[in-house]
Structure 1
Amino acid sequence: LILYSLLTQFNLHPLQAIKELPEKHIDLLFLDIQMPELNGLEFSKMVDSGTRIVFTTAFDQYAIDGYKVNALDYLLKPISYVDFLQAANKAVQWFELLQQPKEEIQSIFVKSEYKLVQIELSKILYIEGLKDYLKIYEEDSPKPILSLMSMKAMEELLPASRFMRVHRSYIVQKNKIRIIDRGRIVFGKNYIPISDSYKQAFQEFLDQRS
């Protein structure tokens, strides 16, 4: 199922669908992982980065692979109408966020343990990227929120005026930085490294506030 504007389209042949994609502005794809000729994971890598994908499959072992390619959601067959609506609503929320100026965004929704969790940006200290998921650390919270989401997708979602990448595995909220110790940002007992790739941008940030 291909959803674009207010139109929907079915296409059972992935190679034919790939040929048609450049001709249409496609917002959302409901994409089966197991397809003839070309599987859904391979198909998704050929899709424009502005198109969001919801994977559907009968096998839950594909879930992590789906999130590695920035899938918006993952539906396990047989798909209930409630599950479909939740995925559709998540897509609507995603596109509504994209339409807002990033500076006006006060909260984001992330998927955690098969639930959508709303997180207030003002509470985020930093975000740590691991192999297949993120850890989102909040103020006054003993445990981080775990989410199957890539660092790239998270960085694109957050307003750059408030958050900055300091390492391939870390994003920090600028106004939460209180202590810098020997080139590391300190949050309580945790030390966040600043990699060489981001040192210049971080130093410029410090110079603006010194």
Structure 2
Amino acid sequence: MSAVKITCVIVDDEPMALKLVESYVKKTPFLDLKKKCSSAIEALEFIKEETVDLLFLDIQMPDLTGLEFSKMLPKETRVIFTTAFDQYALEGFKVEALDYLLKPFDYAEFLSAANKASTWFSMVKGKQESIVSKEKEFLFVKSEYKQLRIKLADVLYFEGLKDYIKIYLKDEPKPILTLMSLKLIEEELPNTQFLRVHRSFIVSLNNVEVIERSQIVINKQRITVSEQYKPKFLEFINNNSL
């Protein structure tokens, strides 16, 4: 089985360390580098707009330390700490870091830590409580201690709320609430039927009623298409316009 692709960000205030870890990431086929940041504050701003699986995170940084920053991360984002000070190891594992690399470290040590991350993400993906059928016609989601079978054709849109998702359905006055990240459900949905248009919304393309400037109307609900997701949305419009 091939390794799960892991999106990652490097955070370090030392330019040489940043460059070294970047070279290691680029050598590792299952790592997909999204950004390198020279401060935790810069990384925090990026993560507000982009879902990231893994951070290679320095601990000692000005303004906001790596340990402080790690406590602000979304639940699905994991950390491998990189630091020159071994006294932080215990604190690093207390915040459930996947590993702890003590500077200076070589590529073999880096790869060992990256492989731990790959194993962890593979296990998580395999244990997801919501299972999408191979035919992509329905999914099971856990809600209020029950597994509910939901037809994809009945879904209007998904709304992400931190660790939860609201699933809005046709002819249902109330959405279904389930514990899951929007990123995980996005990976399982057929991209011919569903499109992410905002960090908090995935819409059913079959149920889009009106497109007005940068807004979609579905069942009287207006959803804004954010700049990050506009290119794919415009491609959808162009492919389906007369």
TM-score, with structure 1 as normaliser: 0.56
Secondary structure at 2:228's aligned position in 1?
Answer: helix
The CA deviation string for residues 82-107 of structure 1, in whole angstroms up to 9 with x for no partner, is xxxxxxxx7xxx4x84xx3xxx2210
CA–CA separation in structure 1 for the residues paired with 2:202 and 2:240: 19
Mapped contact 2:168–2:176 kept (Cα < 8 A): yes
- Find runs of 4+ consecutive structure 1 residues off by over 3 angstroms: 37-48
Partner of 1:197 in structure 2?
228
Which one of the candidate residues 181, 184, 192 is aligned to 2:212? Answer: 181
Q: Percent identity?
A: 44
Structure 1 residue 111, shift from structure 2 partner: 1.0
Residue-by-residue CA offset, 1:136-187 (whole Å, 9 max, x unaligned)? 0001110000001001110011111111111111001111111112311112
Task: Report the Cα distance in structure 1 between the residues aligned to 2:188 and 2:196, rounded to whole angstroms.
Answer: 13
1:96-111 correspondence to structure 2 within 5 Å: 97=133, 100=134, 104-111=135-142
- Counterpart position of 2:190: 159
Letter in 2 for 1:173: S
State the shift of 1:132 in Å: 2.0
Give unmatched runs, 5+ long, in structure 2.
1-89, 100-115
The alpha-carbon deviation at position 131 of structure 1 amounts to 1.6
Aligned length: 133
Aligned AA (2:128)? L
Please give the alpha-carbon distance, in whole angstroms, between the structure 1 residues aligned to 2:174 and 2:96. Answer: 32
Query: What is the aligned counterpart of 1:115 among 143, 146, 163?
Result: 146
Hey, what's the Cα distance between the residues in 2 that align with 1:39 and 1:117?
A: 35
Q: Match for residue 173 of structure 2?
A: 142
Q: 2: CA distance between counterparts of 1:121 and 1:39? A: 40
CA distance in 2, matches of 1:183, 1:134: 23
SS at match of 2:121: coil
Out of 51, 59, 66, the residue aligned to residue 123 of structure 2 is 51
Give yes or no for contact 2:209–2:219 (8 Å, CA) kept in 1.
Answer: no
Structure 1 unaligned spans of 5+: 1-36, 55-70, 74-89
Aligned-partner Cα distance in 2 for 1:157–1:189 = 26
1:192 shift after superposition: 0.7
Equivalent pair of 2:197/2:224 in contact (CA under 8 Å): yes
Cα distance in structure 2, aligned partners of 1:116 and 1:49: 23
Aligned position for 1:128: 159
CA deviation after TM superposition for structure 1 residue 43, in Å: 5.3
In the alignment, the residues of structure 2 paired with residue 181 and residue 208 of structure 1 have an alpha-carbon distance, to the nearest angstrom, of 17
Paired AA for residue 148 in structure 1: L
CA RMSD in angstroms, aligned pairs only: 2.7
Query: Which of 1 and 2 has greater Rg?
Result: 2
Does the C-alpha gap of structure 1 residues 183 and 117 become closer, same or farther in structure 2, counting only changes over 3 Å?
A: same
What is the deviation of 1:41? Answer: 5.2
